[in-house]
Amino acid sequence: MGAVFEMSLASGLGFELGLKAVPIDRATAEISRVLGIDPLKLIGSGALLIACQERSESSVMKKLQSNGVQCTRIGKFVPIRKGRALIRNKKRTILKETSIQDELWPALRKFQS
What is the separation, in whole angstroms, between the first and last Cα of the chain? 30
As a whole number, mean pLDDT of residues 47-72 equals 94
Q: Which residues contact 86 (CB under 8 A, 6 or more apart)?
A: 1, 17, 19, 92, 93, 95
Rounded mean pLDDT of the chain? 90
Out of 29-38, 55-64, 71-80, which region has the weakest mean confidence (pLDDT)? 29-38
- Correct CATH for 2-109 of 3.40.630.10, 3.40.50.1220, 3.90.650.10, 3.30.450.90: 3.90.650.10
- The pLDDT confidence band at residue 79, using thresholds 50, 70 and 90, is very high
Q: Is the pLDDT of residue 5 over 80?
A: yes
Give pLDDT tens digits for 61-76: 999 999 999 999 999 9
- The pLDDT confidence band at residue 60, using thresholds 50, 70 and 90, is very high
* Integer Cα distance of 48 and 7 in angstroms: 11
Q: Where are the domains of the chain?
A: 2-109
Q: Which residues contact 73 (CB under 8 A, 6 or more apart)?
A: 21, 57, 61
